[in-house]
């Protein structure tokens, strides 16, 4: 499968259709607009720092993905990017995953849709495990992981929750965060 051509249409909880597709270089303006529209709190939760602007090097990093070691999807609603998710391979069979959804569009299932499609692509690519670091107060992201249907372990350490999702096993739908 060529992940760079990935595109599907999903129906959200509110009945609206959203396109989940591969990030394209032409998405530069839309991606920057989406990030600029995020609340300071949402940017902090995504980047673990008070982020206002990006350097050209950072923009290039986020836009120029190879769809092998670095896979990125966007969620497009009414022509605008309202969310995104990506994974970056960190070791053979293992990748770090991260998401962000527009503040106004949370709790509509966009994060879960991005997760499902990234998991599909990751499995096709032979990824067996997704990992993530999540701030403890980012309950919505932790819920996306818990509800993914994957076996999940989570460990709290120094103000961060380290999440591991096993793509080879189904989960029980619930997970406990070990302190």
- Asked if the model's pLDDT at residue 177 lies above 50, the reply is no
Q: Report the pLDDT value the prediction gives residue 42, as an integer from 0 to 100.
A: 64
What is the per-residue pLDDT across 6-34, written as a single tens digit (0 to 9) for each? Answer: 999 999 888 999 999 999 989 988 887 87
Q: Report the pLDDT value the prediction gives residue 30, as an integer from 0 to 100.
A: 85
Domain of 67, CATH number, reads 3.40.630.30
Task: Retrieve residue 175's tokens.
Answer: 């997970």
pTM of the model: 0.84
The Cα–Cα gap between 127 and 3 comes to 14
Cα torsion at 1, 34, 160, 137 (round to 10°)?
A: -120
DSSP state of 143: H
Q: Name the more confident of 35 and 97.
A: 97
Domain that holds residue 43: 3-178
- Counting beta carbons within 10 angstroms of the beta carbon of residue 100, is it exposed (0 to 12), middle (13 to 18) or buried (19 or more)? buried
Q: Report the pLDDT value the prediction gives residue 40, as an integer from 0 to 100.
A: 65
The Cα–Cα gap between 140 and 68 comes to 28
- Asked if the model's pLDDT at residue 176 lies above 50, the reply is no
Q: What angle do CA 160, 95, 46 make, to 5 degrees?
A: 40
- When divided into structural domains, the chain yields a total of 1
- Asked if the model's pLDDT at residue 125 lies above 80, the reply is yes
**What percent of the chain is modeled with pLDDT above 70?**
85
Task: Retrieve residue 136's tokens.
Answer: 């403890």
For residue 133, give Cα distances in angstroms to 21, 36, 141. 24, 22, 10
């Amino acid at each position: 499968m060529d992940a760079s051509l990935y595109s599907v249409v999903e129906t959200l909880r509110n009945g609206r259709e959203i396109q989940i597709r591969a990030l394209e270089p032409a998405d530069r303006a839309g991606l920057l607009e989406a990030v600029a529209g995020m609340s300071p709190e949402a940017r902090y939760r995504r980047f673990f720092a008070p982020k206002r602007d990006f350097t050209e090097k950072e923009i290039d990093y986020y836009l120029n993905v190879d769809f092998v070691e670095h896979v990125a999807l966007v969620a497009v609603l009414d022509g605008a990017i309202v969310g995104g998710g990506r994974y970056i391979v960190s070791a053979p069979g293992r990748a770090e995953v991260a998401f962000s959804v527009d503040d106004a569009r949370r709790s509509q299932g966009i994060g879960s849709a991005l997760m499902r499609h990234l998991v599909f692509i990751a499995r096709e690519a032979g990824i067996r495990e997704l990992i993530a670091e999540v701030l403890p107060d980012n309950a919505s992201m932790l819920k996306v992981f818990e509800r993914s249907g994957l076996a999940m372990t989570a460990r709290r350490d120094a103000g961060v929750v380290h999440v591991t999702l096993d793509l080879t096993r189904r989960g029980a739908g619930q997970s406990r965060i070990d302190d």
